[in-house]
């Protein structure tokens, strides 16, 4: 049964990432915590680890099928890599309780921006 939960977590994460261009972590983190019983910190770290290859596949598909504004890609990549390094270093320092709240606020803010 756990193998099915792992596969479904990957399937829905990949679907969200491919459909929205990102977002696999928003599906993966809560699923890993609730269905796979992985701790908050490990769920975030695991999501980050598998989002990279997932995003690479999605990016390749978008690159070959869509017109990409390359003048924006490089500066955003530089900022994203820098932010990723900083975020990964601080992950262990944030208590699980606060991490849950921060993630919830992030998801609610994103949802409200989409609705409004």
Sequence-ordered list of residues with C-beta below 8 angstroms from that of 33, at least 6 positions apart, any chain:
39, 40, 43
Q: What is the mean pLDDT of the chain?
A: 87
- pLDDT tens-place string over residues 11-33: 888 888 778 766 778 888 999 99
Q: State the pLDDT at residue 95.
A: 94
**pTM, 2 dp:** 0.73
- pLDDT tens-place string over residues 61-116: 888 888 888 888 889 889 989 998 999 899 989 999 999 899 899 889 988 988 88
Residues 39, 50: Cα–Cα separation, whole Å = 16
- Residue 56 DSSP code: H
């Amino acid at each position: 049964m756990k193998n099915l939960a792992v596969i479904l977590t990957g399937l829905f994460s990949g679907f969200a990432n491919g459909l929205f261009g990102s977002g696999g972590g928003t599906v993966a983190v809560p699923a890993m915590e609730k269905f796979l019983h992985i701790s908050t910190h490990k769920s975030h770290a695991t999501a980050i680890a598998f989002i990279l290859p997932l995003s690479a596949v999605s990016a390749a598909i978008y690159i070959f099928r869509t017109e990409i504004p390359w003048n924006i890609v490089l500066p955003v990549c530089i900022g994203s890599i820098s932010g990723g390094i900083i975020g990964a270093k601080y992950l262990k320092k944030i208590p699980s309780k606060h991490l849950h709240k921060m993630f919830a606020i992030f998801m609610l803010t994103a949802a409200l921006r989409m609705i409004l």
